[in-house]
Chain A
């Protein structure tokens, strides 16, 4: 047997939740081993145990056949285990080299030997094809470059076993492709990779073996070559998952949201949205797709009131809401799942239950004569938690900050869908979620549509736009360059429009004005 790492019968309890229940994970040397599971399945806990951040309540760990006790990350490092954290741990105003050598600086006498350190970093970078400039400052380099610095940190410490915690969450498709190549190169050079993810495509592309966890329990370990995506998804979620959204034809009614000649400035003070007109009817999902940064954010913030507009009109049921306060827009029936869930979606220091009533805490039954009714708030929270499967350590009493990103997202989606707003602005609703949760949220969005609501879906995921929308508007450089029928278009056509190469304005029912 050439298992380099064996985690045997690991169990770990947290207050109110058994995060890992008798999990056994055996990793072969020089392979890419994927760890697959939904949000909150216990992947991160298991890896934190391997990296020495947590101690297991029971079970044992063997590295290269020898039983070890990993009491802190330093022990893990000395065993050759390194971790690329999901949230990078880099000092922004240090150079690449300074970040890499931090904690084990090569020195001549009392002075750091930065020259030889830079040389070594450059050598390692070349060997694995990482193309990192050792003298660049972290704040000046791209996110994917920063990730490669994290990889270099481990390689500099001679790590043999590399743990990647959801490494692709912050990357563009092109960068993801590059990362996959780097991973393969690392394995060729004799490293072993443990990849934590919930993205099946990536596992299929790069991993050799896949271990699936579900709700803290081991479901099984399979060879990736012999298992298709559907089967892995089923193992992860515990039931059959359809990758396609089931929906009947839309029955569009009256116009609920109408935008006329809207101009909005972006953070740079330039026009981010230019003379844009758009309408969404009751009972339809209008998808808005485009490459990130083409005016989606400005448009959404203008509709929801997070930013001021320069000129133009925004009608919600014939009432111009363009200059109304956010609160009044909400009361008129506007709902919003925001792009930045931590900034605009949740009050992180409030509990989950409090976040659920953030719009209507002052109304009955949540408040009586100005005093909050804790019981009603709790009951409301428990209902939503059950319905939307929001997982957290202490249920309604969990501070939002302590929840995983995916579950924070579920909580916002639950709150907004539950209000059932007439006009629903949905931005990246399934960001960071696993297939099971995505399927459920798509289903609920379609259900809202069928109840006669108008939905504007903004997403960077082309699959999501094509699956859920009835019509698709493409935004490029702040303008709508075309509106197409979702059933009739192709990925290729949308791609051309998103890059500005193709315009289909004739298909757009632009509002005519004098």
Chain B
């Protein structure tokens, strides 16, 4: 592989990384508060659908349509995640089952709404999604400039900013301490006067916001319209990044970049001599294969929040 090729891969790899990082950070909030959120895939779909639809509907009236699309995707994610919060916090449902139900619902719901709005099984194609840009000055730095600052989607910077914000909130603020306590030992948190249900609502709704944003980012950077297969498992890859990154924002960043590059690899494999012999399908499988491997090796180790997935029972000793 030539160095030139690697440089070429950077912008596209970072494009794929952004939604994975954002969504995985969403999962981090949810699981740190004690709620397993397997619905990330569905949340991304809802966010992607809403983002694409708003962009299509607004693009004739404003040049910033795609940005409104991102915001709309974020809000739609919040609304959709309320279902998961109500089911798993108020109704004490099994969180994995609730999440699975939402994933199935998301597919049906988005296609149904497409049918109503656009009279087809997908949204209309938007003419302009989020535009690439180059950071003035920084993009002229040799090598590094081409890697991180030239012809880059701004969504990647949003993702990086979110990593730092998440780290700050989770590890430095009282809110973060309380939220983590709810994910580790909710009875202990409750005994210190913390409202466990409230903290968990916060965690799930933030995961909805970031998952919805992630979905909108994905469709508005890597696609031209929303279809049933726009997200194609990226929510689960995000979940794997969360596990792979050991529920830590910087770990998530690393895992997100790793999966971003493995996705980008499938586009460049033909140009890399020693990989060109392998069938192209192999590289499309790669991110998912790595997801399974990551989960196999890391999911069993109990590094995650202890009480995540457990229904909160205030009377438990």
Contact = CB atoms under 8 A, between A and B. Distances in A.
Interface of A: 73-74, 77, 85, 87, 89-94, 98-99, 101-105, 107, 110-112, 153
B174 A94 contact: no
A74 B192 CA distance: 8
Nearest to A111: B172
A101 B173 CA distance: 12
A90 B185 CA distance: 7
Interface string B160-180: 000000000000111001101
A89 B193 contact: no
B219 interface: no
A241 B174 CA distance: 53
Contact of A91 (B173, B174, B184, B317): B184
Contacts of B97: none
Interface in B153-211: 172-174, 177-178, 180-181, 184-185, 187-189, 191-194
B306 interface: yes
Contacts of A85: 191
A102 B177 contact: yes
B184 A93 contact: yes
A153 B189 CA distance: 12
A462 to B, nearest CB: 29
A189 B184 CA distance: 34
Given A102-B188, A107-B174, A112-B172, A91 B193 contact: no
Given A74-B193, A77-B193, A103 B187 contact: no
Nearest to A109: B173
A355 to B, nearest CB: 18
B27 to A, nearest CB: 19
Contacts of A89: 185, 187-188, 191-192
B177 A105 contact: yes
A102 B317 contact: no
Interface majority SS on A: helix, strand, loop or mixed?
Answer: loop
A110 B189 CA distance: 20
A50 to B, nearest CB: 15
Contacts of A101: 177
Nearest to B171: A112
Contacts of A105: 174, 177
B173 A102 contact: no
Interface in B130-161: none
A92 B185 CA distance: 8
Closest 6 A/B residue pairs (Cβ): A103-B192, A89-B188, A105-B174, A74-B193, A89-B191, A91-B184
Given A92-B306, A94-B181, A102-B177, A73 B193 contact: yes
B172 A91 contact: no
A112 B177 CA distance: 9
B188 A91 contact: yes
A247 to B, nearest CB: 36
Contacts of B192: 89, 102-104, 153
A487 to B, nearest CB: 41
Contacts of B306: 92-93
A179 to B, nearest CB: 20
A102 B189 contact: yes
Contact of B173 (A92, A98, A104, A112): A112
Given A103-B178, A103-B192, A111 B184 contact: no
A103 B185 contact: no
A437 B174 CA distance: 47
A93 B307 CA distance: 12
Given A89-B191, A92-B306, A110 B173 contact: yes
A73 B174 contact: no
A102 B184 contact: no
B188 A90 contact: yes
Contacts of A102: 177-178, 181, 188-189, 192, 194
A404 to B, nearest CB: 10
Contacts of B189: 91, 102-103
Contacts of A153: 192
A110 to B, nearest CB: 5
Nearest to A153: B192
A91 B191 contact: no
23 contacts: A73-B191, A74-B193, A89-B187, A91-B180, A91-B181, A91-B184, A91-B188, A91-B189, A93-B184, A94-B181, A98-B177, A99-B188, A102-B178, A102-B192, A102-B194, A103-B193, A103-B194, A104-B193, A105-B174, A107-B174, A112-B173, A112-B174, A112-B177
A93 B185 CA distance: 10
Contacts of B317: 87
